[in-house]
Structure 1
Amino acid sequence: MRAIHHIALICSDYDRSRAFYRDILGLPVIREVWRAERRSWKCDLDAGNAQIELFSFPAPPARPSRPEACGLRHLAFTVADIDAEVARLDAAGVRCEPIRIDEYTGQRFTFFADPDGLPLELYEQVKS
């Protein structure tokens, strides 16, 4: 294995999630297709070294996404200036938790949620 290619997310409200990831987080759309046989939209977004795939499905079942639930804990995005990103998200109505410091790396990070409550993280990587 060499790298993560994509992360797939099934959205409860496709339009709301596409607007969140594209307009608020600023991830460019690579392609978007309607898959008639599945009655499902699929949108590929450029997340740097990987892609995020957003899917719509009719009546998807709910999945627990509490931070300590079994399964994917959170999706983390690398940022250069966490204060600027938190301010940008706050201006868009997205609330972040207080910034914390990773006790092992000394890097700063915070959590917020997407429209479906999926835990997302901003992880500041300062070049030395």
Structure 2
Amino acid sequence: MQTQGFHHVAIICSNYEKSKKFYTEILGFSVIQETLRKERDSYKLDLQVGNHDRIELFSFPNPPARIGYPQTEACGLRHLALAVDNLEQTVNELESKGVPVEPIRLDELTGKQFTFFKDPDGLPIELYES
């Protein structure tokens, strides 16, 4: 199998308007397309992340809560990692918008800095300095 990379990451949110605001206004992702799927009582929001990547943000009535934070090490998606040029500047920007961010750490394997914050549903998002 030959792939060209990821096409998108899909995220299901519990509060569509709150998550839409977070991903567009706080994180600054641009809207590609917003679709109301009446038959499913659901929205699908396609977001542009960087030059080539996408997030599909879905809303569904009463989705079950996320099981736990990465420390639980459960099977499945552990976190979403975003590459940034300047980690400290990005952390300061998020904190100025009221988003709590964990202390910056150093990846022992690569020597790069990283940290975590959460989306409105507690999905862990990593910032990794490229």
Per the shorter chain, which TM-score range?
over 0.9
Shift of residue 120, structure 1, vs aligned partner: 0.3
Which residue does 2:125 correspond to in 1?
120
What letter corresponds to residue 73 of structure 1 in structure 2? Answer: R
Runs of 4+ in 1 over 6 A off after TM superposition: none
Q: Structure 2 matches for 1:30-69, cutoff 5 A?
A: 30-48=32-50, 49-67=52-70, 68-69=73-74
The one-letter amino acid paired with 2:32 is I
The correspondence for 2:6, drawn from 4, 10, 23, is 4
- Are 2:31 and 1:29 aligned? yes
Distance across 2 between alignment mates of 1:114 and 1:76: 12
Alpha-carbon shift at residue 70 of structure 1 (Å): 1.9
SS in 2 for 1:93: coil
Residue 18 of structure 2 is matched in structure 1 by 16
C-alpha contact (below 8 Å) 1:98/1:110 kept by paired residues: yes
Structure 2: distance between partners of 1:109 and 1:51:
21
| Alignment coverage as a number of residue pairs | 125
Q: CA deviation at 1:21?
A: 0.5
Q: TM-score, normalised by structure 1?
A: 0.94
Shift of 1:66: 1.3
Runs of at least 5 residues in structure 1 that lack an aligned partner in the other structure: none
Aligned-partner Cα distance in 2 for 1:20–1:65: 20
Asked if the contact 2:82–2:127 (Cα under 8 Å) also holds between the matched residues in 1, the reply is yes
Shift in Å, 1:65: 3.3
- Describe the SS at the equivalent of 1:26: coil
Letter in 2 for 1:44: D
Unaligned runs of 5+ in 2: none
CA distance in 2, matches of 1:51, 1:77: 12
Match of 1:97 among 91, 99, 102: 102
Aligned-residue sequence identity (percent) comes to 58
